[in-house]
A and B are shown apart, each in its own frame.
Chain A
Amino acid sequence: MTERDMADLPGYVSAHIQEKLAAQAYELGIRVDVRGDVVHLRGEVVSEERRREVEEIARGAAQGREICNEVHVVAVGAPDDEERLS
């Protein structure tokens, strides 16, 4: 029997990257899409440092694929207005 190379199956690669992001970066809300040789990351984190960390963890599980990091850092300025609920 020949074992199949799972790196060829992008669905499993993205699922394993998401597992790693949960276990090592504690980020559950990052979308991971594998398209050809590129892993696309989307979502939001609270700091630039975490954005880089997410990328590095994804790279470690990306089976040599390039990383396109479109995760952005959430803006948290004071609000401009309030909503009136009457």
Chain B
Amino acid sequence: MIRVAAAGDLHVGPEVAGTYRTRLSALAEHADVFLVAGDLTRHGTVEEGRVAAGELRDLGVPVVAVLGNHDYHSDAEDEITDILRDAGVTVLEGDGTVLDCGGTKLGIAGGKGFGGGFEGRCASDFGEPEMKAFISHTKDFAGRLGAALLDLDADLLVSLTHYSPSADTLEGEPLEIYPFLGSYLLGEAIDSAMADLAIHGHAHKGTEKGLTSGGVRVRNVALPVIQHAYAMYSLDIPARVDSTQARERVSAW
């Protein structure tokens, strides 16, 4: 069994430095890994990145994070990524990592992701260059997420994004903003790789539990949703289809 702690939308800044960390004192006792689903900062400054790194440094468990839209706001996402990595945090952006958790290989692939909307109610790669740029950002990411998940040699596969791969976990948000909260393209990538769990944040008014169209469990771990410093999930180790078979299924589309 693997125990995954997860949280998103920490939105730390100098005025709350150290506060979040005090809530993580028991983390190493209960969890094999801590996944952070983006929006570590309030508006993406280097100073806030340093505060975020301070909250997540030396927690006694591996910390794997992705950035969120707030972390991009000041165009310092690369510096924030470096600061987090210097603090020992694995930061994913369209790639993956495998952790050895007591002999079980936990594969995590992820990145920020992006919006576009969900089946039948989504933006299309059509029209003005601005609209095409919007959707191609999501499509590019979804392609990299799917490839990264399929590439991992692991017993359990977890997707970690900021934007949502499922409309289920947006329930509670206004319908009109769903296209800015996630995309079915992320869900499609997760389903094609037959991931075991998909973690995301971003939708503060959403719902914790949902599913992709393919039945993968999705959990929205934005702090205002989970109402705790992190959520805990334990995963049984399944007998899994190997990635070669999953690839064959994808190529048969």
Contact = CB atoms under 8 A, between A and B. Distances in A.
Given A26-B70, A78-B23, A84 B230 contact: no
Interface string B3-22: 10000001110011001100
A83 B228 CA distance: 14
Interface string A38-79: 000001111101100000000000000000000000111111
B229 A78 contact: yes
B223 A26 contact: no
Interface stretch (B90-98, B134-142, B147-155, B231-239): B231-239
Q: Is the interface of A mostly helix, strand, loop or mixed?
A: loop
Contacts of B230: 78-79
A43 B70 contact: no
A85 interface: yes
Q: How large is the interface on A (under 10, 10 to 19, 20 to 34, 35 or more residues)?
A: 20 to 34
B20 A82 contact: no
A2 interface: no
Contacts of A44: 204, 224
B234 to A, nearest CB: 5
Interface residues of B, number: 35
A78 B15 contact: no
Contacts of A86: 235-236
Contacts of B228: 75-80
B42 A76 contact: no
A77 B229 CA distance: 5
Given A47-B19, A85-B217, 12 more contacts: A26-B42, A26-B43, A26-B70, A26-B73, A44-B204, A46-B223, A74-B224, A82-B232, A82-B233, A83-B233, A85-B233, A85-B234
